[in-house]
Amino acid sequence: MTLKAPHAGTLEVICGPMFSGKSEELIRRLRRAKIARQSVAVFKHAFDVERSDSEEVVSHSGIRIDAYAIHNPQEVAQYAREHDICVIGIDEVQFFPQEIIATICALVDSGRRVIVGGLDLDFRGVPFGPMPTLLAIADKITKLRAICTECGQDAHFSQRLVNGHPARFDDPIVMVGAQEAYQARCRGCFSIDRTPNW
């Protein structure tokens, strides 16, 4: 039996709560690919404008990389084809609809390296959008931890605060007129009024 050459395509998923360094790690891997003179393109969802300029991915510590803000998954595939891109980064991938999974699989099948960063859990502790599937089909998973703002231990959850108080499970995603904040919290310090219906 002749052994087949290894398939070049891979999917790497970087997950964890807010502030765990997902964007930093994504940017680090993409910068290394650029040093290796590979063709690189970075994408993020067009509505993630709060913490970054529209054409950059910016980490909480200020590390940045140029990125394309896009509205739908097909734009990633189209850009990669038209510009002969080998290494594709997608930040905050949890915000994309389920169609991003087919797009990513097609890119990997065509021999490309796809690296995505995203929240594995939402503020309720529920798996976020396409992340469970992406984690299941990934070649490589990096699950990062932040530092709990309450006790300093490793943090696994993203605590949502509304007007300074822990958000409730059934609070709407957008609360008009409310002061909102997010903190990294460990399992013991994470506060929510009920657990998911597993």
Judged by beta carbon, residue 105 or residue 182, the one nearer ligand ADP is: 182
Of 92, 99, 150, 180, the active-site residue reads 92
As a whole number of angstroms, the distance between CA 185 and CA 178 comes to 21
- 49-76 in b/e form (b: 16+ CB < 10 A) is eeebeeebbbbeeeeebebbbbeebeeb
Closest CA to 134 of 9, 14, 7: 14
- Shortest approach of ligand ADP to residue 97 CB, angstroms? 21
21 close to 62: Cβ distance less than 8 angstroms: no
Nearest to ligand ADP of 18, 88 (CB atom): 18
- Residues 140-169 as x/- pattern, contact with ligand ADP by CB under 6 A: ------xx-x--------------------
List 43's β-bridge partners, or say none. 68, 90
Q: Is 99 a catalytic residue?
A: no
Smallest distance from ligand ADP to CB 61, Å: 4
**Is residue 59 involved in binding ligand ADP (CB under 6 A)?**
yes
- Which residue's CB is nearer to ligand ADP, number 133 or number 153? 153
186 scored as a contact of ligand ADP (CB under 6 A): no
Q: What residues make contact with Zn ion under the rule CB under 5 A?
A: 148, 150-151, 153, 186, 189
Percent helix, strand, coil in the chain, to 5, is: 20, 30, 50
Nearer to ligand ADP, 21 or 129 (CB): 21
Distance of alpha carbon 154 from alpha carbon 178, whole angstroms: 28
Which residues are marked as active site? 92
